[in-house]
Structure 1
Amino acid sequence: MDELDLLKKDWNRKEEQEKLSAKDILPMLHKKSSSIVKLLFYISIAELFFWIIVNTIPFFVSDSYRERLNMVYSDNALIVLNIFTYSVIFLFIYLLYNSYKSISVTDSAKQLMKSILNTRKIIKYYVLYNLIMVGISMIFGLYFSFHNDPNAAKLLEEMDSKGIFILVAVSILATAVFIVVIWLFYKLIYGLLLKRLNKNYKEIQKLEV
């Protein structure tokens, strides 16, 4: 056997090893990706219950909190806000569940990549929505407080232009800090899992080349 035949034999052996490696790696990446999305789904459910508890317990336990809430917000505004907020959370959970099911049933590398990309988009838009809603909620909360709460309205009337400026500046700063805290929370919870999902996506891309 000459050198050319030996080279061809060695090349064929390497190709077989690469094919076997890809065949073995893809199911592992499939299983890991499915587990990550499943965990994201469970976290979203836990987050739903967390916000329900946070919003519900003080309302029923504290009379002063309930009275202040009713004073600041009208009943209809509060109901609409809660319905909208929880509808978005339920929609997010539903989309994540569909993404998990999609990954669970697919055997195609391209379809797995598509499902991972879809999951990343869902998380990205959900986090963005929550950050925007935090800012809007705090702005509307302050607005309703100074218009519907007699004590807050009286305080605003007694302020001069400098006092109002300081109040606005502090409110903006507090809103910004709260948004950053929420962003860090989501980056810690969802960001770590998304990083692992992105790693799987890059590995699948290599197998597709």
Structure 2
Amino acid sequence: MDELDLLKKDWNSENPEFKSYSDSDIYPMLYKKSFSIVKTLFYISIAELIFWLLASILPYFLSSTFKEKLETSYENPLFLGVNIFSYLVIFMFIYLLYKSYKTISSTDSAKKLMESILKTRKVIKYYVVFNLTIIFLSIPLSFYFEYNENLEFHKQVVEFSTNQMLVLYAFVVLVAGVFLILLWLFYRLIYGVLLKRLNKNYEELKKLEV
């Protein structure tokens, strides 16, 4: 049980003397915890950006085959556009989190802190939904690019029977689904835990506002 939980326990006791000081004691703790959570979210987003950059850059320099395929893929406007858009969204997400982090660090009002928490929650949820959508679409798109750019693969697929095509489509959907579930579990574990704590702080601030 942390310091805030101990204070809340005493706050709910029958001691009227303590209750008269409850708001002034509890708000700084809620502020400190909310600030710490948003700060952690910001650092996680930076780490995630670095991870995706390394995942894209390292294979390019370590594998000549991957390098050739990637350069060929970038000749396709759709592939290039999706990649640029994805990184733009990540940078925008980091900027919005940084903005929330700076807002919370300078606020002295419970109402403004609540507004910042609400904005942070929305940003995280939209970002998670965006990433899940991109992952779900990236597998079929990769298959589409491979089908159009890889002549050997194209010839093999053209010769597939109806049953083989159904198996191939099922495999593509299965792979996309697995990646989607894994990414959802990752966000559930990392962002979900922090958002739950942020929501808890928000509910406590609402009680102070009553």
Task: Mark yes or no: TM-score above 0.5.
Answer: yes
Alignment: residue pair count: 197
User: Which consecutive unaligned segments of at least 5 residues does structure 1 have?
Assistant: 1-12
Contact 1:99 1:119 in 2 (8 A): yes
Match for residue 165 of structure 1? 166
Equivalent residues of 1:73, 1:148 under 8 A apart = no
Report if the CA contact (8 A) 1:99-1:115 is conserved. Answer: yes
Alignment of 1:36-185 (within 5 A): 36-74=37-75, 76-185=77-186
Q: CA deviation at 1:80?
A: 2.9
Conserved 8 A contact 2:147-2:154:
yes
Task: Output the CA distance in 2 between the equivalents of 1:88 and 1:153.
Answer: 33
2:109 & 2:121 partners in 1: Cα distance? 18
CA contact (8 A) 2:73 2:80 kept: no
1:69, distance to aligned residue in structure 2 (A):
2.5
Q: Structure 1 vs Structure 2: percent identity of aligned residues? A: 51
What is the alpha-carbon distance in structure 1 between the residues aligned to residue 132 and residue 83 of structure 2? Answer: 16
Q: Which has the higher contact order (CA 8 A, sep 6+)?
A: 1
Structure 2 letter corresponding to 1:187:
R
Tell me how far 1:78 sits from its aligned partner: 4.5
1:95-154, Cα deviation, whole Å (9 max, x unpaired): 000111111111111111111011000000000000011112112111111111112101
Amino acid at match of 1:120: R
TM-score by length of 1: 0.89
Relative to structure 1, the CA distance from residue 103 to residue 19 in structure 2 (aligned partners, 3 Å threshold; closer, same or farther) is farther
Aligned partner letter, 1:96: L
Q: How far apart are the structure 2 equivalents of 1:77 and 1:60?
A: 23
- The C-alpha deviation readout for 1:1-59, integer Å capped at 9, x for no partner, is xxxxxxxxxxxx96653231111100110011001000100110111111110100001
> Does structure 2 retain, via aligned residues, the 8 Å contact 1:73–1:144?
no
Q: Distance in 1 between matches of 2:54 and 2:172?
A: 26
Residue 113 of structure 1 contacts residue 204 of structure 1 at CA under 8 Å; is this kept in 2?
A: yes
